[in-house]
Amino acid sequence: MSGGPSVMRRPFFEKSNTELTSSLRSNFANQQGSPAESGVSYKSWTTQTDGALYVPTHEPSPLTEPRESYDITVKLFYLPNIPAGRRCAHTREAIELVLKELGSKSIDLLIVGFPGISFDADDEDSDLEDPPSAPQSTSEGCEESEVPPEDIETMAMTWKSLEKLHSEGLVSKLGIAEFGVARLEKFLEHTTIKPSVNQINVRDCCVVPKPLILYAKQQQIELLTHNDCTNILPRGTLRQILGSGDNGSGVLASESNTGGLNGDVAPQWVVKYTAVVKDRGVVENKGYFAVAELRDE
């Protein structure tokens, strides 16, 4: 017996990078005294706990119905130029933040996006033997990274930490993003728990290559489409949001804002979460968490 289409398409609304930065700016602007020009310190609308600064102060929004009523999907973006050795801790931190936010003990699907990977449908149709060495194109409005994709062994090491979360019952299913047939074949050789989902960005062509559809079906991997950017939160964008210029929140110090934090910010990871009520298909809770490190300039 068979059921459901080979490829499930999600409706494309606002691009993830635009959605994230817009929500950050809106959230900061809604805080009392957050604009830098107001002269009110960022300390009045942020909270510092265990060496971490929460911008802004945040209270969880637990789900209102029983846990079994929801499908909870989390996508974790590993960002460029962050050592792969940090990912085990970063992944657990991201999951714990989402679980606390939703008042849940587990999530249904965790998808991870590795830096430097960009799906190219033309490569699939040309029977490429090896994965591309760098992103071939970008989605409109996305500031993609210049870093080359990682080798399969490095990604496989990260995957082992995800398999551990699965074995602990924190995550029911695991998924990856932007893998074509060549990369997927090599990656599966290193996995104990295969990805249940491969999420790809088909951009303007809207056509999923047949070789990928056939291979995913053979491996029982569900194909999903998405509209996310690989480099969802560039360093310059975050500095602008936290800075003291136009549309800045005044968290970082400047000549006109000596009460802010001194230094520069380096994004570490971003996580996107969605809780959908199963029987109604309604998104009850959706949001992002972004973590950055404050460094001396």
Tell me the CATH number at 244. 3.20.20
Residue 236 pLDDT greater than 50, yes or no: yes
Q: What is the mean pLDDT of the chain?
A: 84
- How many domains are there within the chain? 1
The conformational region for residue 247 under phi > 0 = left, psi -120 to 50 = alpha, else beta, is left
**Predicted local distance difference test score (pLDDT) of residue 27:** 83
Q: Is pLDDT of 192 > 80?
A: yes
How sure is the predictor about 24, in pLDDT bands with cuts at 50, 70 and 90? confident
Which pairing describes strands 264-277 and 52-54: parallel, antiparallel, or unpaired?
unpaired
Q: What per-residue confidence (pLDDT) applies to 119?
A: 83
Note whether residue 119 is domain-resident.
yes
**Residue 74 falls inside a structural domain:** yes
Listed residue (92, 99, 136) closest to 116, CA to CA: 136
The reply to whether 138 falls in a domain is no
Residue 216 included in any domain: yes
- Asked, for residue 245, whether it belongs to a domain, the answer is yes
Give the pLDDT confidence of 141-184 residue by residue, as tens digits: 565 557 788 999 999 999 999 999 999 999 999 999 999 999 99
Pairing of strands 70-78, 52-54: unpaired
Query: How many alpha carbons lie under 13 Å from residue 157 in its C-beta half-sphere?
Result: 10
| pLDDT in the model for residue 208 | 85
Q: For residue 102, is it within any domain?
A: yes
Q: Is residue 100's pLDDT more than 80?
A: yes
What is the value of pTM for the model shown? 0.86
Secondary structure tally for the chain: helices H, strands E: 7, 10
Closest to 63 in 3D by CA, of 290, 288, 273, 226: 273
Angle at 152 between CA 149 and CA 154, to 5 degrees: 85
Amino acid identity at 273: Y
pLDDT of residue 85: 95
* Three-class secondary structure of residue 131 per DSSP: coil
> Under a CB-based contact definition with an 8 Å cutoff, are residues 45 and 33 in contact?
yes
Q: Which domain holds residue 82?
A: 16-26+64-124+153-295
In a domain, 35, yes or no: no
What pLDDT, on a 0 to 100 scale, did the predictor assign at position 233? 92
More confident residue, 134 or 253: 253
Question: Do the domain assignments include residue 89?
Answer: yes
Please give the residue that has the higher pLDDT: either 38 or 156.
Answer: 156
Q: What is the rounded distance in angstroms from the CA atom of residue 279 to the CA atom of residue 48?
A: 39
Q: How far, in Å, CA of 42 to CA of 261, rounded?
A: 9
Q: Taking a C-beta distance cutoff of 8 angstroms, is the pair 199, 178 a contact?
A: yes
pLDDT given at position 148: 84
